[in-house]
Amino acid sequence: LLHPGSVPTTTCRRGGVLMSATGRKVKGWRAQLSRIAVYGVLTVAGIVVMIPFLIVSIFIIYISRDLIIQILFTPEFTEMRNLFVFQFLGDFLKMCGWVLGYLLIAKAMTKTYIIMELVNFVVILALSYVFIKYYGTIGATYAYAITHFVYFIILAFVFRKILFHKGDKESRNNQ
């Protein structure tokens, strides 16, 4: 149920009942549409708030990577400065994927969440094995970035109706 100032905590399929913020019952496709709108707003808000902060943080750390390496590690670790680009790309994609991953939990899609995590684990394991073999240490960062890119794309496909919602009329026709 949707109470004033809260979001729906349960999902119901077509014909479900949802309480609007005004306390009126919303049924059928309107309930589904309201749920899509709420989850879509939360997802977009999460990404909109997170992305600028993440970009600024990554930029600051990237610019100061030599100083960070110098302070935290011995001179033998200076070569790790080359690992930062794909590590940060992977981190960025991972954070974007987490927003959608938490949406799986919020929508009680536990089975899908577990499958996604297992797929993510298998992909990073396989890619790490292959890329480290061919590219050395930097191959691990390649694998990390590609894995989280795949994870994000799959979740974007799962939530395509929420992410790419184009209006009431089209949503009604797609259901």
Residues forming a β-bridge with 27: 17
Residue type, 60: I
This model's pTM is above 0.85 = no
Spatial separation of the C-alpha atoms in residues 11 and 34, rounded to whole Å: 11
State residue 27 phi and psi, 5-degree precision.
-115, 165
Looking at residue 4, its pLDDT comes to 45
Looking at residue 41, its pLDDT comes to 54
Looking at residue 160, its pLDDT comes to 78
Residue with tokens 């077509």: 14
Q: In this structure, how many other beta carbons lie within 10 angstroms of the beta carbon of residue 53?
A: 10
Average confidence (pLDDT) over 39-62: 77
DSSP 19: E
Residues 1-27 pLDDT 10s: 434 444 443 444 444 444 444 445 545
Q: Give the pLDDT band of residue 140 (cuts 50, 70, 90).
A: very high
Residue with tokens 């799986």: 104
CA 62 to chain CA mean position, Å: 22
E strand or H helix that includes residue 27: strand 25-27
**Range of weakest confidence among 48-52, 58-62, 75-79:** 48-52
**Range of weakest confidence among 18-27, 36-45, 80-89, 115-124:** 18-27
Is the separation of the CB atoms in 34 and 42 below 8 Å? no
Looking at residue 16, its pLDDT comes to 45
State residue 138 phi and psi, 5-degree precision.
-65, -20
Q: In this structure, how many other beta carbons lie within 10 angstroms of the beta carbon of residue 125?
A: 12
Is the separation of the CB atoms in 50 and 105 below 8 Å? no
